[in-house]
Amino acid sequence: MCQFAPMRPAPNQQATAKTKAAILLFILCCLLSTGPLAFEAPSPGWRDDISRRSDQRFAALKANLPASGVVGYIGETGDSATPDYYLTQYALAPLVVDLSPNHAIVVGNFPSSPPAQIPQNLRSVKDFGNGVMLFSSKEAN
């Protein structure tokens, strides 16, 4: 038989108006942030362009490249240069895309404008349109 010691008053028995007010205030603070959650969501039908900038653009080129290995890369300069390069790698994986023109096969990515000049060691193999080009090294031939 278990004997209970005299109970301390349970804390919740002492629940005061202050506690209730604190809970209500806390709930209010949380709900304030819930509003933007609901209203600042992207509108239905809006889609970003990662797929258009990577998989779709490079689909034809990818079919002409080896299944694995390393290819070089040349592209535009400026703010979009880095994301353009990353998106090319994303689209062409499992090929490794090295940010260098010193490879037998080199991918060209010029989404805004055609290249003013290409490195002298490269020759153009094919223009896939939409700024996607394939080069090969002159030395490799």
Binding site for other proteins (CB under 8 A): 1-5, 7-8, 10-13, 15, 18-27, 29-38, 40-44, 46-48, 50-51, 54, 67-70, 83, 86-87, 89-90, 93-94, 96-98
Which residue number, 15 or 125, has a Cβ lying nearer to other proteins? 15
Calculate the alpha carbon distances from 50 to 3, 57, 130 in Å.
Answer: 69, 10, 15
Residue whose CB is less far from other proteins, 47 or 112? 47
Nearer CB in complex with other proteins: 86/124: 86
55's tokens:
């998989």
Least distance between other proteins and beta carbon 137 (Å): 17
The kind and range of the H/E element at 59 are helix 57-63
Give the separation between CA 59 and CA 56, rounded to whole angstroms.
5
